[in-house]
Amino acid sequence: MNPHPDKPADPRFVEIFNLVKAYPNPYGEAVRVVDGYDLVMREGEVVSVIGHSGCGKSTVLTMVAGLNEITAGSIAVGGREIDGPGPDRAVVFQSPCLLPWMTAFQNVMLGVDRVYAHGTKQQRKEIVEYYLAAVGLADARDKYPREMSGGMQQRVGIARAIALKPRMLLLDEPFGRLDSLTRMDLQDVILNILDRERITTMIITHDVDEAIYMSDRVCMMTNGPNARVGQLLDLPFARPRNRAAVLEHPLYYELRGALVSFLEQQDHRVPARESAQMEAGWDDTLHMVEALNETELEEEPIDETATHTENQLVGAGV
Amino acid sequence: MQATVNATDIVRAIEVWRPQDAGGPFALCSCVYGDDDHIEEGRRLRRFELGEGIVGQSAQTGQPHIRSCEDLIDDGIDLAHSHVVSIPFMHSGQCKGVVLLACDESEGNQGAMELWRPNDRGELGLAEAWHSNLERFGLISKYVKFPRRAGLPGKVWADRFPRVMGSLGTSQQFLRAAGAKAEGLSTGIGIPLMRTAMQLDSVLVLLSANRTPIARAMEVWAMDPDSKKLKIVSADYGAFMDLAPMSRQLSLGIGEGIAVHVLRDCAPWATWDLLGVEFPRGEKFLEYGFRWGLGMPVFVGSEIRAVAVLIN
């Protein structure tokens, strides 16, 4: 995981502290989409962020990229607080957004020209060719986007991002529009590159298996609004990753089960009782009478054990 | 006479060790034993200097520990198939007492004691744990980390205040709910153990199963700023839900209840005299087969923020 084996990896390379993103609401208080998001990433680490649609995963990523203003909190990468986009952070979105009048080579060269302005033309050419080859497009360098499949276009997008030699790579559902075979292929392409380059990487994904296969740890987000980190799961799989070895790991299904359960738990269909409980500020402010009323309003048959336990929380609002 | 704890109880022993004078040695002050009351006599004669045994080590360092009783033979804790957690209570840098809570891990007994400590990333990770017959839950918990405000440990850390959580298997707030549901865990309590007013040493989490509860009732008491009396701020009574409204209305004044006793002494306390101490709930407790109570102060620096009470 360490990009420089002779130097210890910075355990706090990326520090996201108490991050808040709020949008104005003409009818009341601002809506806090993300509220109190904390995450620390080790240098060279790959972290997947998973959560339900609309929970704020991409909002977090765009704030880290510097493309979305932070309402409160802070983000530091490599010890420097970010205040906007920069070449130290490269982003790959779901759609590669290539310039249609440029070839694959020219699309990648676009960024390389700016970041390696001090290099010779030959050096820049070699960099572009190296990264196009790394994503398996050595033979398609002169193709235009219209001549390439979605998967090939996304490969160009990945080469374009990594050719900038960013200190941090941000992948926003990069395989979301691809078929499963292409998706698996591209996952391996990215992992191969990350194993060589050791770039600290944040991946936004909906796919539990993808999160497990690609990352060193998974960050599970609670549902929005007021989304934050629910819990983090460290993954014990060695890198470089081997798909078969991961699938056969004795803990694979346990870890997968934990992630799926978390997502199920965070499902939008919150039972009325729990919803009231949450709005009341969790157990500390839930009044016994309110809890009993909630139970009486239930139309469905009530599970005896659940009733016993769900109505036991007593609070006085401390 | 000491009441006999139900033989199916998972808790085998509770001991409260307190310094006889400032700095020790530590002597057994109050205790509750189940079927193992024969060890009480020997334990009463025992003393622990600072740094000596698990009691002295916890008192000296301010750090709780979870150990197998098999590793504590020299400490005189002769309980087979059991684990013990040592919980020091540090008040302005001075240890006011150490609680030893020993639980039985025989087949069928389910429960968990966990210590969550901040790691180098500022997240809580499982530092020490005992999961009795909860293999899957324990296995996954090793890989879980909680940032501040996340999950039961993270919320306790952020609030620097203890919290009781019921319905673990269905709660959206308990992030390991699926595992808890699968393995029958029902109620949990998180207690912050602070090194200083601002610095957390660890969060102690006790997870209780319906069938073999560590405690049938878990309560957190705090001072009501208006009445200056202790009131419950967070509690769960499992299947004994009719205790909830009664308890909710209680305001404890001088000489009333385990919580006030703990507040008065600024030290933990264990008792089997629920009838005498817990008026007016004592009769109900006895009716339901509750036998003992343990009160633990929650210190934040020099302040006592709350009292956590376990009753079983």
- Indicate whether A235 pLDDT > 90: yes
The first and second tokens of residue B154, run together, are 């993270």
A contact test, residue of B170, B208, B232 with most A CBs within 10 A: B170
Q: How far apart are CA A174 and CA A158, in angstroms?
A: 9
Residue B129: pLDDT band with limits 50, 70, 90:
very high
Residue A102: pLDDT band with limits 50, 70, 90:
very high
A contact test, residue of B124, B137, B164, B234 with most A CBs within 10 A: B234
Least confident of A61-70, A149-158, A276-285: A276-285
Nearest to A231 among B146, B186, B234 (CB): B146
Inside any domain, residue B45: yes
Q: What percent of chain B has pLDDT over 90?
A: 62
Q: Which residues of A touch B288 (CB under 8 A)?
A: none
Inside any domain, residue B5: yes
- Indicate whether B34 pLDDT > 90: no
A contact test, residue of B172, B205, B243 with most A CBs within 10 A: B172
Inside any domain, residue B36: yes
Q: At B85, which CATH number?
A: 3.30.450.40
- Indicate whether A289 pLDDT > 50: no
**Who wins on pLDDT, A73 or B74?**
A73
Tokens 């309402």 identify what position? A71
Taking alpha carbons only, the member of A176, A240, A247 closest to residue A209 is: A247
Q: Mapped to the 3 state alphabet, what secondary structure does B223-239 carry?
A: ECCCCCCEEEEEEECCC
List helix spans (H) across A102-229: 104-115, 121-134, 150-162, 180-197, 208-214
The arithmetic mean of pLDDT across residues A236-248, rounded, is: 93
Tokens 């997870």 identify what position? B207
Inside any domain, residue B27: yes
- Indicate whether A273 pLDDT > 80: no
- Indicate whether A243 pLDDT > 80: yes
| DSSP assignment of B93-117 | TEEEEEEEEEEE--TT--EEEEEEE
Whether A315 sits inside 8 A of B176 (CB atoms) is no
**Who wins on pLDDT, A4 or A148?**
A148
Residue A5: pLDDT band with limits 50, 70, 90:
low
Q: How far apart are CA B141 and CA B205, in angstroms?
A: 12
- Indicate whether B15 pLDDT > 90: yes
CA distances (Å), origin B80, targets B5, B72, B73, B83, B84: 17, 11, 10, 9, 11
Residue B11: pLDDT band with limits 50, 70, 90:
very high
Neighbours of A108 (CB within 10 A): 30
Whether A314 sits inside 8 A of B144 (CB atoms) is no
Average pLDDT of chain B, as a whole number: 89
Taking alpha carbons only, the member of B103, B35, B95, B40 closest to residue B62 is: B95
Q: Give the strand pairing for B11-19 and B26-33.
A: antiparallel
CA distance A103 to chain B (A): 43
Least confident of A266-275, B33-42, B272-281: A266-275
**Who wins on pLDDT, B172 or B303?**
B303
pLDDT given at position A170: 97
Question: Which domain does B65 fall in, by range?
Answer: 1-109
Cβ–Cβ pairs < 8 A, chains A and B: 142
Taking alpha carbons only, the member of A133, A109, A135 closest to residue A123 is: A109
pLDDT tens figures, A192-206: 999 998 999 999 998
pLDDT tens figures, B98-121: 999 999 998 889 999 999 999 989
Inside any domain, residue B272: no
DSSP β-bridge partners for residue B165: B188
Tell me how many domains chain B contains: 1
Highest mean pLDDT pick, A1-10, A78-87, A276-285, B169-178: A78-87
Inside any domain, residue B56: yes
A253, A205 in Cβ contact below 8 A?
Answer: no
| Residue-wise burial string across A266-283, b where 16 or more C-beta atoms lie within 10 A, e elsewhere | beeeeeebbebbeebebb
pLDDT tens figures, A104-162: 999 999 999 988 989 999 999 999 999 999 999 999 999 999 999 999 999 999 999 99
Inside any domain, residue B196: no
Residue A224: pLDDT band with limits 50, 70, 90:
confident
Nearest to B172 among A278, A308, A318 (CB): A278
Residue A306: pLDDT band with limits 50, 70, 90:
very low
How deeply is B113 buried, as exposed, middle or buried, from its count of CB atoms within 10 A (0-12, 13-18, 19+)? buried
| Residue-wise burial string across B185-209, b where 16 or more C-beta atoms lie within 10 A, e elsewhere | bbbbbbbbbbeeeeebbbbbbbbbb
pLDDT given at position B101: 95
Contact status of B248 with chain A (Cβ, < 8 Å): yes
Nearest to A283 among B136, B144, B234 (CB): B234
Inside any domain, residue B46: yes
Q: Which residues of B touch A215 (CB under 8 A)?
A: none
The arithmetic mean of pLDDT across residues A81-96, rounded, is: 92
pLDDT given at position A176: 86
The first and second tokens of residue B200, run together, are 């957390």
Contact status of B225 with chain A (Cβ, < 8 Å): no
pLDDT given at position B226: 86
- Structural domains in chain A, CATH included, are 14-88+166-265 (3.40.50.300), 272-310 (no CATH)
Contact status of B170 with chain A (Cβ, < 8 Å): yes
CA distance A2 to chain B (A): 16
pLDDT given at position A4: 55
Average pLDDT of chain A, as a whole number: 83
The first and second tokens of residue A166, run together, are 């960013």
